[in-house]
Amino acid sequence: MRPTISAAAVATASKRLLLLQSLLPLLTVLLLTSSRTSGLAFSDEATSYPGHSFSHMELYDFRGVEFLAVAQTNQLINMRADFSEKYITQIGPRNDSTVCSPIQMQPNIMGINKLKCQIHSMDNYIKAMTLHNGSLYFCMSYLSSSCAAAPLTDGPLSVNFTEIDRKLQHLSRSLLCRNEAAKTQLTVAPKYISSDTKSNNGLYLSMPFCSTKNLENTVESVISIVELKTLQLFRIGSFSAFHSEILPHNSKRRPNALSYHYSFKYTDGPHEYVYFLLTAREVVSSQFSQVRIGRLCTRDVYMTGYVEMHIYCSHADADPTATYGYIGEAAIFTKAGGQLAASLGIPATEPVLFLSSRVFDSSISNWHQGVCAVPISSINARLNRIVVDCLQGQAYFGPAYIRDPTKCPGRGFETQPAESDAPAPPQCTPFQPQPEWGGMVGLKEQHRYQTNFIASVDVSVNITSVAVLPLQNGATVLYIGTSAGELLHYSVLSQRQSYLFDNATVGSGPVLSIRTGRRRLFALTKTQVGSHPYASCEQRHLSCSACLGSRNPHCVWSNLAGAPGCRTWDRPGRPDPDSHVISAENCPTVASVNNADICVDKPRLERR
């Protein structure tokens, strides 16, 4: 006998089927949301290049193809950004010494006991790396002094150690700290030795100096300007900036008070400047540091025009009078999207300094952490104001982390008195050398720049890297790498409005570097180079509400006949409002249902 099915059973099954069909989009969205927030890969298109001891990464375009230059202990790797081809240049191990200076290592030096140099095979690793005018500039731990430039190419990167050794033959002191954990920042910019000569490329290095042979081991960080052609510090006659300007006399040095985190260059009018982002303690015994930014003109021969200001970057609800510990570990200097630029009151073409900050609000005994955005015009306006006020005795002469500050003497600068609102003189002329460092620091409240986080991050992790992607539709995407290997995605709409729309785990350790390519995002950890699509809107979101409810600025909903769905928008300008939806509030809804009179509670079975 064939089993019979009652009408009630059929009705129940029908209702369950309709319920499952109605819940399917919601279950899909929940599944995708769960995978996103739990730290799974961005999408099936995510790829990686595994390894070990990675430290630096730069992204560049060579004849229309994107390449990644990646530093690894004893190797410099050049690879296509899709990982289809890679070229390895061996840079170590090399015979090296931690005791002797480069000149003492040369075989033609008489009277030096080679046994004292303790020469043996040692690892060689990259200390700093940057791109400049079609070349990769880098400094290595080899002999604590080796810097070079390799032309960008679609093959192996060339490192000429014969040429490096030739330059080091005459170097009587080390330039870098060998310690692998000692961070070094490198910016390549012109350096002039007089006002009427052509410039040479200077390597502007900010770094810890860790010599153990003299009093210099008491200095935590220094700035050094190196000439690549000779690997020598720039000198004008007997004047050495390294000895006289950046480092004060031995009796006035203050140890463990200073750390450099980032450097960059910018051309303002006829002058090119190099900027240094640093944290410094006013009182050596204090656990709190303050974020500062210093500026040095490349034409300022004796660096007497160096000027420095405070940046206060904190949570919007924090009490500014009770907030301490401005620690900026990560930064990037780039352009913002059109919407954020408008919120900052600047044109979209003006670069912005995005910097991290970790602050303690003593009024509520709580820590805050996030990223702030500071326009370069705001930085220069305050630095210029300090220069003008210094001429009038209204600023400090010499940062407190080096020596006790004194009022500016108001002399020694070839300029006319300025009005209160007049722009500052460029301070790029070759002044005479000073017996002490000629740095200027703001004294007034208006010398400082105070702003709030554009994005906040939980303080259970540290911010280790940042990157910014301005979209063609005017939006700004902020990427934040953390010490836990997370990569946080924020959509920044203005100074006061941002959303976390994605969170993925890209490694087991800190995210060391983030680079934005044409269509993919690259993240570096110590053990892998990760490549991820900016968005996979088509695969991740099946409904309009899920697509636009994700707040991913890459995603729009297409209403085109025959091809509705979530789409990744990568074209110039905003989507056509007649064929696309960009706000969840405007998602289409069901207005009517055909055959609405059919009753599913009492289904009618056809009998044969």
Predicted confidence (pLDDT) per residue in 91-125, tens digit:
999 999 888 878 777 765 545 556 678 888 999 99
Domain extent for 528? 460-534
Pairwise pLDDT comparison (217 vs 356), residue with the higher score: 356
| Cis ω for the linkage preceding 255 (within 30 of 0) | no
> Rounded mean pLDDT of the chain?
78
Query: What confidence tens digit (pLDDT) does each residue in 492-514 have?
Result: 999 989 999 999 899 889 999 99
Domain identity same for 260 and 396: yes
Per-residue pLDDT tens over the stretch 541-584: 889 999 998 889 989 998 887 788 998 887 767 788 878 888 88
pLDDT of residue 472: 83
Task: Say yes or no: 530 and 550 in one domain.
Answer: no
Which of 90-99, 389-398, 424-433 is the most confident on average?
90-99
Residue 279 has what pLDDT?
83
Task: Record the tokens describing residue 354, joined without a space.
Answer: 């995005």
Q: Is 505 inside any structural domain?
A: yes
pLDDT higher than threshold 90 for residue 209 = no
In a domain, 219, yes or no: no
Name the one residue in this structure whose structure tokens are 């305050």.
382
Helix (H) or strand (E) holding 279: strand 271-280
Q: pLDDT, tens digit, for every residue of 217-275? A: 444 567 888 888 888 877 655 544 443 233 333 334 445 567 888 999 999 888 889 99
Query: The tokens of 500 are what?
Result: 């976390």
Claim to verify: residue 333 and residue 468 sit in the same structural domain: no
* pLDDT recorded at residue 448: 85
In the predicted model, is pLDDT for residue 407 greater than 50? yes
Neighbours of 494 (CB within 10 A): 13
Cα–Cα nearest to 161, from 54, 53, 74: 74
CA distance 72 to 202: 25
At 173, is the pLDDT very low, low, confident or very high (cuts 50, 70, 90)?
A: confident
Q: Which stretches does DSSP call E strand in 301-377? A: 307-314, 323-324, 331-335, 351-361, 366-375
Q: pLDDT at position 122, please?
A: 94
Same domain, 344 and 262: yes
Name the more confident of 177 and 409. 177
- Top pLDDT among 24 and 350 is at 350
* pLDDT at residue 13 greater than cutoff 70: no
Phi then psi dihedrals of residue 585, to 5 deg: -65, -20
More confident: 9 or 184? 184
Select from 168, 192, 207 the last residue of a domain.
168
Q: Give the residue-averaged pLDDT of 159-179.
A: 86
Torsional sign, CA 214, 216, 220, 221: negative
pLDDT at residue 283 tops 70: no
Does residue 148 sit within a domain? yes
pLDDT value of residue 406: 67
Q: Which helix (H) or strand (E) holds 501?
A: strand 497-505
CB 527 within 8 A of CB 50: yes
Domain end marker among 168, 188, 204:
168
Cα(9)–Cα(33) distance, rounded to whole angstroms? 35
Residue 233 maps to a domain:
no
Q: Tokens standing for 378? A: 């705001």
Tell whether 494 and 386 lie within a shared domain.
no
Q: Percentage of residues in the chain with pLDDT exceeding 70?
A: 71
Tokens of 338: 């059109």
Candidate from 32-36, 153-157, 512-516 with smallest mean pLDDT: 32-36
> Helical H runs in 260-362?
338-344
Say whether pLDDT at 26 is over 50. Answer: no
- Residue 325 pLDDT more than 60? yes
Give the C-alpha distances (Å, rounded to integers) separating 542 from 29, 42, 166, 175, 489: 8, 16, 63, 57, 21
Same domain, 66 and 154: yes
Q: Which residue has the tokens 């490549």?
A: 531
Distance, in Å, from the CA atom of 353 to the CA atom of 147, rounded to the nearest integer, reads 27
Residues 506 and 546 placed together within one structural domain of the fold:
no
Within-domain flag for 187: no
Assigned domain for 344 exists: yes
Q: Which residue has the higher pLDDT, 573 or 79?
A: 79
The confidence score (pLDDT) of residue 114 equals: 61
Q: Last residue of a domain, which of 133, 150, 168?
A: 168
The percent of residues above 90 in pLDDT, for the chain, comes to 38
Range with the largest mean pLDDT of 51-60, 232-241, 328-337, 387-396? 51-60
Q: Which of 513, 524, 510 is nearest to 462 (CA)?
A: 510
Burial (Cβ within 10 Å: 0-12, 13-18, ≥19) of residue 146: buried
Q: Is residue 526 part of a domain?
A: yes
Both 545 and 472 in a single domain? no
Q: Do 361 and 407 fall within a single domain?
A: yes
The answer to whether the beta carbons of residues 292 and 329 sit under 8 Å apart is: no
Strand 271-280 with 406-407, pairing:
unpaired
Which three-class secondary structure state does DSSP give residue 490?
strand
Domain presence at residue 224: no
Q: Which two tokens stand for residue 148?
A: 């070079």
pLDDT in tens, 40-50: 233 445 689 99
Rama region for 133: left / alpha / beta (φ>0; ψ in -120 to 50; rest): left
Residue 500 bridge partners (DSSP): 490
465 lies in the same domain as 379? no
287 and 352 belong to one structural domain: yes
* Cα distances (angstroms) measured from residue 340 to each of 224, 288, 471, 551: 35, 30, 11, 16
Separation CA 362–CA 321 (nearest Å): 9
**Together in a domain, 444 and 349:** yes
Tally of domains in the chain: 4
* Pair 135, 151: CB distance under 8 Å: yes
Instruction: State the CATH number of the domain containing residue 323.
Output: 2.130.10.10
